[in-house]
Amino acid sequence: MQSLTSSCGECVSFCMFNGFGSATVMKIAVIGPGALGCLLAASLGAANEIWLLDRDPERARQIGNQGIILDENGKRLNVRVNVSANSSNVPEVDLVLLCVKSASVSSAINAWMSVVTKGRPLLIALQNGIAHLDILPVAMPGRWALGVTAQGATLAGPGVVMHRGNGPTRIGFPSGVTISEEERIQLQRAAAVLSASGIATETTDDILVHVWNKLLINVGINALTAIHDCPNGRLLDSPGILKTMQDAVLEGAAVAEALGIRIDRNPVARTIEVCRATAANVSSMLQDVRRRRKTEIEAINGAVVTKGVKTGVAVPVNEELVRKVKGIEGGFH
């Protein structure tokens, strides 16, 4: 168990219940020290043994020395967790939370292969978009589940995370695979330990629906904020941008329908609602652009284009958004 210390140095210790009637300490590997990885590692670290895995040895050393600094609306907590760049240091774990970007899913699983297989822990993949749905069956030898979260977090520096939104997290196995009783219990334990750590999580039999609902929100918001260099809420100020948002989301909804996925009945209204609720947010894609890093355009609007081509659904607005964001990325070199 790690110690959780407030910025004034006062030490707080927690005993968390796992939802099954007893307090347990889980060994949890969190792969990827981005905003979500640091938020989950810090939240879970108060009552569990956490291994934050980072392939960059220098950054791993820095986060290991300073701890994770979690800013909860101005209140700063410093959470010490184990940080490692080397899989041979990591013990057998009960749960793996895969928090890398979707373009790194395959290489991260390869790099941490012994961690994700030793003792057959449940791996939960928490990526934006849908590109990882096609990558995981090839890259991951054991059972995996998917997670969708509405937690809002921004990375302010290595291991420094600003927690700015607290929405539900859902985890579940994709439909069409046979799940053993033991795997079902592993999933329930994961939901219980996350919830006990302040990340309200429920299990679902419909995880693909949640993945697509979230995808459509990102389809409508992320690329447009990157193109117009504005926080989410500003997209609603321009009728022209609003129309593009609506058309992009409706194209994605038509693709979902062609694939037989029962998404929300009014995805455009939902996207506008999220835009309002996160008005001051700088979207993850705009954060990437501002840091001159490759964005997740391929996993979001690009994936809608790929599936549109496969299903014969026209997706010209998403094609245009992909072209524009790739144009921005092209200027990084």
- Regarding 295 and contact with ligand KPL (CB under 6 A), the answer is no
Which residue among 169, 222, 295, 306 contacts ligand KPL (CB under 6 A)?
222
Residue 274 in contact with ligand KPL, rule: CB under 6 A = yes
Cβ 204 vs Cβ 210: under 8 Å = yes
By CB under 6 A, which span of 6-14, 82-90, 216-224, 239-247 interacts with ligand KPL? 216-224
Selected range binding ligand KPL among 35-43, 48-56, 217-225, 324-332, rule: CB under 6 A? 217-225
* Tokens linked to 126: 């928490």
Structure tokens at 127: 């990526």
43 binds ligand KPL (CB under 6 A): no
Residues with Cβ within 8 Å of residue 278, at least 6 apart in sequence? 152, 165, 232, 233
- Identify the residue among 283, 301, 306, 318 touching ligand KPL (CB under 6 A): 283
Catalytic residue, candidates 27, 214, 243, 310:
214
- Nearest Cα neighbor of 199 from 159, 173, 172, 170 is 170
217 makes contact with ligand KPL (CB under 6 A): yes
Query: Can 75 be counted among the known catalytic residues?
Result: no
From the CB of 202, what's the least distance to ligand KPL, in Å?
19
What token pair was written down for 252? 């994605």
Tokens 């956490």 locate to 50
Task: Give whichever of 128 and 318 is closer to ligand KPL, judged by the CB atom.
Answer: 128
Complex with ligand KPL: residue 136 or 272, whichever CB lies closer: 272
Task: Tell me which residue has tokens 């890398």.
Answer: 100
Q: At what angle do helices 207-228 and 301-311 cross, to 10 degrees?
A: 120
Q: How far apart are CA 85 and CA 22, in angstroms?
A: 32
Where on the chain is the footprint of ligand KPL (CB under 6 A)?
128, 217-218, 221-222, 232, 274, 278, 281, 283-284
Return the active site residues: 214
